[in-house]
Structure 1
Amino acid sequence: MSLFPISAQIISKFLTKSRINYCQVATALRPKKSKSTRKEAQYFSDAKRVRAIGGKGGDGCVSFLQLWCNERAGPDGGDGGNGGHVIFQASNDVRNFNHVNSVLQAAEGGIGSAKECHGKNAKHTVIKVPVGTVVRNAEGLIVADLGSVDLMFVAARGGAGGKGNRFFTTDKETSPKVCEYGPAGEDMSYMLELRSMAEVGLIGFPNAGKSTLLNALTRAKPKVAPYAFTTLRPHLGTVQYDDHVQLTIADLPGLVPDAHRNKGLGIQFLKHAERCTLLLFVLDASAPEPWMQYKQLMHELEQFGGRLAKRPHLVVANKMDVESSASNFEQLQQQLQHPELLGISAKMGHNLAKLLTNIRVAYERHKEQQRQ
């Protein structure tokens, strides 16, 4: 959430300059409560490899009925119960895969017993996953796209219950002494991926100030430290506007040159960025030649392929509170000639209100283009 209110004059001036005619642009709200005091950082899991094992079917029973009037009343062994399935269900109750275990084991079916008592069928193990989850099999092929609420996918079927000796009774074999064991359930491996992780993804070199920026804009608490690769997993925060719209901002791990060749976090980082609707390039204005950071970032996105390099993006120059940043910012404007380049200081809170306005305008512009 924003720490500063945004005046209507700033919004109208920005919209006139960029020639965008929206009837309303909402104002980012102040956070209503303080940040959590817990020390553990909560990361965001947007992909997870799981192993789904269906429940074993119950064994059949060998039994013969004995009555007071007939000691050989015939076979009465019951069948075993069916094993449970492992099912993925799309739900709005969860946002990521932090709650999903690496091994998902369904319950076993009950065994059969005498007097033709069948074993109990096991309950299915239903795992809730976020809406928009894509399920890939071991070969990497998409086998399920859970794009709507309550949509289900059976990941591993449980084994059927084994037959008791009552089932094998025939005219010729009236006293069978055989039964079936319950077969094991399916054992499958899957890769769960989120189609969309956040509306805005922060992209930049290590120590560009991405975690500090997320800390200043939202109630998220990513780890902030003066060394490279402080962020190893994505962290998410939410910005709320006065028209009840919420935009999620993701702090992604730092990108290094040759990331498309899997250097550093490599392909994993680029896949995180691929799940963001809007990209926000965070450049270190205090570094020498900060425009080279932007060119290197764009080069990595282009080499990764797909439409990632053509995704709508904004550019901000962070650390404007440092003395050397002022001269670097002027050269950065000349080199990039980006119409929406903005100088900010996440540490001091400079220009964060205008940044939130730019984010909302760019997001609404992207939505309008998608409708057309």
Structure 2
Amino acid sequence: MFFLIRFKGCLTNYRLQINTTQRIAQFCQRIGQPVRSKKPTSAGNAVQNFADLKHVRVVGGSGGNGCISFLQLWCNENAGPDGGDGGNGGHVIFEASSHVRDLNQMPTVIAGDSGVKGTNKDCNGKNAQHKVVKVPVGTVVKNAEGKVVCDLCKEGLMFIAARGGAGGKGNSFFVTDVEQAPKICEYGAEGENLQYTVEVKSIAHVGLIGLPNAGKSTLLRAISRARPKVAPYPFTTLKPHLGMVQYDDYEQIAVADLPGLVRDSHKNRGLGIQFLKHTERCAALLYVIDVSLPEPWRHLEILRFELAQFNESFARKPQVVVANKMDLADAEENLPELRSRIDLPVVPISAKFGTNVRKLLEKMRAIYDDNVGQSVE
């Protein structure tokens, strides 16, 4: 009887080990589930957009001046020159940081600190601290001629935008065997004075692309705390908006709502295609289509053609068609026809009422996990 009880206990422990192993494997293989933000949505109706392009003037700090001084002691009135050197001016450095999402906080004129001038008793001036300006990951810096001088595509990358001037030498530096009491020193050099165009080329992991009034802003409001303007007329979105989608494994996906495209946007019709630079490094593209309109597959053809005119590499990105406005008439009838005419996965939703939005978020997470490492090259 004793051996039987012991055998049953071993069998129970064995089964518990198998169940625990299976649960760990299932947890490791599962996809993070979207969760609602714990912070309440703002009661105000303020529209917050971000600055993605700025023209800045960058001035490096000037070096400190050297000092002319002669040491006088109680026992030796002519102890010799003791003028110290000036400190170096500070550089102005751009650093890519994931904690910054736009260029709103970047001033148009950025000046570095100047070095401290030298003093007597061979005391050199203090070097100025470098001024580090945080910019979003994916920022491209162009010089005055329009040439790209740096691409801050990874976290922690730095670019010296303007070098600080060197500090001037004091008169003790110029002592020679011939000249024992020089009365000369150097002024500190001026820092570089340059102009740049700072452009954010990568703002989101997923880009929402669609014709005007397709429901992109409504969808962004439904999946994030962003507050883009929503109105029943075209071109309510004049600037890109950004929203963050949170998941239960603490992963966050940035989604960008871009202004609507129209036919011949590549010819600068409508708002043009100047905002499509943000989608060049997105992990995925979501085509938001209004399936309640006649022949919605024609809208997808227009969008794909305009993207091809801007950059042919868009065709190699993961793409999903979001069949929006399923709550309206004729949407159910157009959906099967839309699926049969395109070669992309289709997720039918209603952004206004939140229908099937969770499935779309799970699809976004699966694409993000497969392509996030390849989105920035």
TM over 0.5: yes
Alignment partners' CA distance in 1, 2:373 and 2:257? 25
Alignment partners' CA distance in 1, 2:120 and 2:68? 8
Of the three residues 346, 352, 365, the one matched with 1:360 is: 365
Please state how far the C-alpha of 1:108 moved relative to its aligned partner. Answer: 0.6
Quick check: 1:110 aligned with 2:116? Answer: yes
8 Å CA contact retained: 2:283, 2:372: no
After TM superposition, the structure 1 stretch with the greater mean CA deviation from structure 2, 149-158 or 206-215, is 149-158
8 Å CA contact retained: 1:159, 1:184: yes
Alignment partners' CA distance in 2, 1:338 and 1:175? 85
8 Å CA contact retained: 2:290, 2:296: yes
* Residues 315-354 of structure 1 mapped to structure 2, 5 A cutoff: 315-329=321-335, 331-334=337-340, 336-338=341-343, 340-354=345-359
Alignment partners' CA distance in 1, 2:266 and 2:371? 26
Quick check: 1:277 aligned with 2:244? Answer: no
Paired residue for 2:239? Answer: 233
Q: 1:170 to 1:238 in 2, by over 3 A?
A: same
Of the three residues 175, 182, 196, the one matched with 2:188 is: 182
Paired residue for 1:13? Answer: none
Paired residue for 2:310? Answer: 304
CA deviation string 1:115-140 (max 9, x = no partner): 33322211111223344544444445
8 Å CA contact retained: 2:319, 2:344: no
Alignment partners' CA distance in 1, 2:327 and 2:156? 49
Alignment partners' CA distance in 1, 2:194 and 2:94? 13
Q: 1:106 to 1:36 in 2, by over 3 A?
A: same
* Residues 232-251 of structure 1 mapped to structure 2, 5 A cutoff: 232-251=238-257
Please state how far the C-alpha of 1:258 moved relative to its aligned partner. Answer: 2.6
8 Å CA contact retained: 1:144, 1:153: yes
Count of aligned positions? 348
Structure 2 portions without partners, runs of 5+: 1-27
Quick check: 1:159 aligned with 2:165? Answer: yes
* Residues 140-159 of structure 1 mapped to structure 2, 5 A cutoff: 140-159=146-165
* Residues 26-41 of structure 1 mapped to structure 2, 5 A cutoff: 26-41=32-47
The one-letter amino acid of 1:343's match is P
CA deviation string 1:224-257 (max 9, x = no partner): 2233332232222222333443322111122233
The one-letter amino acid of 1:298's match is R
Structure 1 portions without partners, runs of 5+: 1-21
Q: TM-score, normalising length from structure 2?
A: 0.80
Q: TM-score, normalising length from structure 1?
A: 0.81
Alignment partners' CA distance in 2, 1:123 and 1:211? 43
Quick check: 1:88 aligned with 2:111? Answer: no
Please state how far the C-alpha of 1:147 moved relative to its aligned partner. Answer: 4.9
Of the three residues 206, 218, 221, the one matched with 2:227 is: 221
Q: Equivalent residue of 2:205, what SS? A: strand
Alignment partners' CA distance in 1, 2:95 and 2:258? 27
Alignment partners' CA distance in 2, 1:93 and 1:30? 21
8 Å CA contact retained: 1:204, 1:281: yes
Of the three residues 267, 272, 286, the one matched with 1:261 is: 267
Q: 1:118 to 1:320 in 2, by over 3 A?
A: same
Structure with bigger gyration radius: 2
